[in-house]
């Protein structure tokens, strides 16, 4: 494997996978909660929440990256607290790349899960309630199993988005090989130097391969889940 990818290229691929997996894993609980809240609850500021969640989808990624830098940078409000109290630094670290990827992928994840929640018949949840299940139990035993295909679809979509995230990442955590140089950043870097097309092309192949594999996996899983739910 390392034969046809140089150590630098290999590091970029590994870093991208790590960043994307962490981004998706860490944001999934929040994604499910947000999707559920948007689909089912009526509360003040619902439209505001909806807007904030979708903002990264509409804003130029560079703007999102800059806002992240302002907020989570060492001098930023949240960044300062994280640094001084917990010793956590996000700017120019791989964790910052994961945060950027998570923020950018969040709207896609929430949209997919929200659609799934809206498709669940609330009358089934009512029925579970009359059978003695409290709200959290209703969610765990009825809602969650029924939205599982949507959750999987949202997760894969978010993963693919995280793998491809570029603008916000490079603005927030820069392009440091081995530290914050993800797959897209590496392709960009190789294209900046003369004679780098060959390396870029290899990374492009890897990116396409990972994306296709993720897509096929999600198809396969969601079909299996749908079969289970449909019965037989």
The residues that touch other proteins, with contacts defined as CB under 8 A, are: 121, 123-124, 126-135, 137-138, 141-142, 145-146, 228-232
CA 4 to chain CA centroid, nearest Å = 29
Radius of gyration of the chain measured on its C-alpha atoms: 20
Nearer to other proteins, 25 or 226 (CB): 226
What are the CA-CA distances from residue 2 to residues 5, 8, 13 (Å)? 5, 10, 11
Tally the C-alpha atoms within 13 A of residue 16's C-alpha that lie toward its C-beta.
29
Which of 213, 220, 232, 183 is closest to 10 using CA atoms?
A: 183
Question: Nearest distance from residue 128's CB to other proteins, in Å?
Answer: 7
Nearer to other proteins, 131 or 213 (CB): 131
Nearer to other proteins, 217 or 229 (CB): 229
Question: Nearest distance from residue 224's CB to other proteins, in Å?
Answer: 13
- Residue keyed to tokens 């994961």: 98
What are the CA-CA distances from residue 42 to residues 33, 49, 89, 126, 157 (Å)? 14, 12, 36, 17, 27
Question: Nearest distance from residue 146's CB to other proteins, in Å?
Answer: 6
Nearer to other proteins, 41 or 86 (CB): 41
- CA dist 215 and 3 (Å) reads 27
Question: Nearest distance from residue 33's CB to other proteins, in Å?
Answer: 21
* 212 CB neighbour count, 10 Å cutoff: 11
Nearer to other proteins, 75 or 135 (CB): 135
């Amino acid at each position: 494997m390392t034969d046809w990818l140089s150590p630098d290229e290999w590091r970029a691929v590994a870093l991208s996978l790590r960043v994307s997996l962490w981004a998706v894993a860490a944001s999934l609980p929040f994604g499910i909660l947000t999707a559920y809240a948007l689909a089912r609850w009526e509360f003040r500021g619902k439209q505001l929440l909806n807007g904030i969640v979708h903002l990264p989808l509409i804003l130029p990624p560079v703007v999102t990256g800059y806002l992240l830098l302002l907020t989570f940078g060492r001098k930023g409000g949240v960044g300062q607290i994280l640094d001084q109290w917990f010793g956590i630094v996000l700017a120019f670290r791989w964790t910052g790349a994961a945060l950027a990827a998570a923020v950018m992928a969040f709207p896609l994840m929430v949209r997919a899960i929200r659609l799934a929640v809206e498709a669940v018949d609330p009358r089934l949840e009512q029925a579970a309630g009359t059978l003695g299940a409290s709200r959290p139990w209703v969610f765990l035993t009825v809602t969650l199993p029924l939205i599982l295909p949507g959750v999987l679809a949202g997760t894969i979509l978010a993963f693919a988005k995280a793998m491809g995230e570029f603008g916000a990442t490079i603005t927030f955590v820069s392009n440091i090989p081995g530290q914050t140089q993800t797959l897209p950043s590496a392709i960009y870097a190789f294209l900046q130097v003369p004679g780098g097309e060959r390396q870029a092309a290899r990374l492009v192949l890897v990116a396409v391969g990972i994306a296709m594999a993720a897509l096929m996996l999600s198809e396969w899983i969601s079909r299996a889940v749908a079969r289970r739910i449909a019965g037989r």
